Each structure stands twice: as C-alpha cells, then as structure tokens.
Chain A
Amino acid sequence: GNSVTQMEGPVTLSEEAFLTINCTYTATGYPSLFWYVQYPGEGLQLLLKATKADDKGSNKGFEATYRKETTSFHLEKGSVQVSDSAVYFCALSDVNTGNQFYFGTGTSLTVIP
C-alpha cells in the first residue's frame, strides 16, 4: 500500500542554519509528492510539490527532489528564519486512489534567533 515516513521531531535550529527533513515513501503506483506546512492555529498549506521522478519542487527557499531510486523526497533549506517555525508534513497522492493523500506524521521545526 501507500505510506509516508518522515523524520521525527522536534527539530530546533538557530537562525541561518541548514535544514533537512527526511521523507521516504512507499507507493504502488506513480505518486505525486508534496510538502505541506502548518502554522499554529491554521490548516495546512502547500509548500512545494513534484509530480514525477527527478522533478525538483521549490518555494520560499525550500527545495525537495523526487528520487525514485531511493523513494525519497527530502526537504531542504539553506538558511532558515524564525518565521519558518512550523510543522512540516510530507505527503503523497496516487492517481489510482484519487484524492486520498497519505501524510507523514509531521516534523515540528523551531528556529531560534
């Protein structure tokens, strides 16, 4: 079946540090991969996505590359800011299961000045 495993948190970084949040997936078909971010008291917002192997999604300085050979979609940012403090979710969807998205358990990130 489909599933997503992501790095457990919480993660605490100093401002301007490098961020990596690991995400690996299992899928029966050809999934699209997503990173969503959730700020306190809000719903999830799409951060970036990739729909096929070797695609790189990027937004707001965050990047993730769809690696089919390692079934991974790790999130990276070169220099984090305090405003990046949030919970990050890796997710996949599979055209065979319509709009049923599979989410990781989330990784809480706190950036300290």
Chain B
Amino acid sequence: KAGVTQTPRYLIKTRGQQVTLSCSPISGHRSVSWYQQTPGQGLQFLFEYFSETQRNKGNFPGRFSGRQFSNSRSEMNVSTLELGDSALYLCASSLEDRGREKLFFGSGTQLSVL
C-alpha cells in the first residue's frame, strides 16, 4: 500500500510569489491534515479536510488556504509569500476524523522563501 505522497519535495520561491503544494493520502483515507514544521515552533496545525470539507483550521493568516478533491487528494496554497513562510510542510492522512486513529505523514515539502 503506497504511503502519503507529497510533491514537490523541495521548492524555492521569492517573496511575494505564491505556491501550491500537493498531497496524495493513503488509499481509503478521507482525512487530510496539513502542518507547518519549523525548528523553533515545532509542528503547527494549518487545517484539516474530511470528505472535501474543511473541518478545522489553525491560527494562520488567510494567505494559507487549502482544498480537498473528491479522490481525497489535497492541495494547499500560500499566496504572497513571506520570508517567515520558509518551513517544512507536512501532510498527514487518517482513516477517520475523530482523532483516535494515528496520522500517517508524508516526507514533506521543504519550502524556502528568498
């Protein structure tokens, strides 16, 4: 069974640009979450989608958005990039949405904003 796949693996952008990251969950998983990982802050929750609906959103500005498609694949978009957006963005999928099941993480997209 394939794991969680995130593309691209690395991205370099400049301030003001926008970026789209992609995540394909494990087959059969309908919940997809996104986290931002930075050395100082650890993992910060961005948002979670379940069956194409955003169920939870973390404390991030509106420049961060996401969506989920009918096949459960998800994308997140960051507009008007800032230097502080440089981070590892992790996607995680889960069978259900009640927090009792473990998350399966992808290897992440390393975003560098110059």
Residues of A within 8 A of B (CB): 32, 34, 36, 41-46, 49, 51, 89, 93-95, 97-106
Contacts across chains A and B counted by CB atoms under 8 Å: 72
Chain B positions within 8 Å of A, measured between CB atoms, are 4, 31, 33, 35, 41-43, 45, 48, 50, 55-56, 58, 90, 92, 94, 97-100, 102-103, 105-108
Which residues of chain B are near A32, meaning CB under 8 Å?
99-100
- Tell whether, in the assembled complex, residue A95 and residue B100 are in contact, meaning their CB atoms are under 8 Å apart: yes
Instruction: Report the bound CA distance from A95 to B90 in whole Å.
Output: 22
Q: How far is the CB of A93 from chain B (nearest CB, A)?
A: 3
CB distance from A89 to the nearest CB of B (A): 7
Partner of B48, one of A43, A98, A104: A98
Contacts of A100 in B (CB 8 A): 33, 45, 48, 56, 58, 99
Partner of B90, one of A34, A44, A104, A106: A44
- With both chains docked as a complex, state the minimum distance between the C-beta of B105 and any C-beta of chain A, in angstroms: 3
Q: With the chains together, A95 CA to B105 CA distance in Å?
A: 20
- Further 4 A-B residue pairs, CB within 8 A, beyond A41-B107, A98-B99: A36-B105, A43-B108, A98-B55, A100-B56
Report yes or no: A99 in contact with B102, Cβ–Cβ below 8 A. no
- Which partner residue on chain A sits nearest B105 by CB separation? A43
Smallest distance from the beta carbon of B58 to chain A beta carbons, Å?
A: 7
Residues of A within 8 A of B98 (CB): 95, 98-99
Contact B56 A99 (CB under 8 A): yes
Is B42 a contact partner of A104 (Cβ separation < 8 A)?
yes
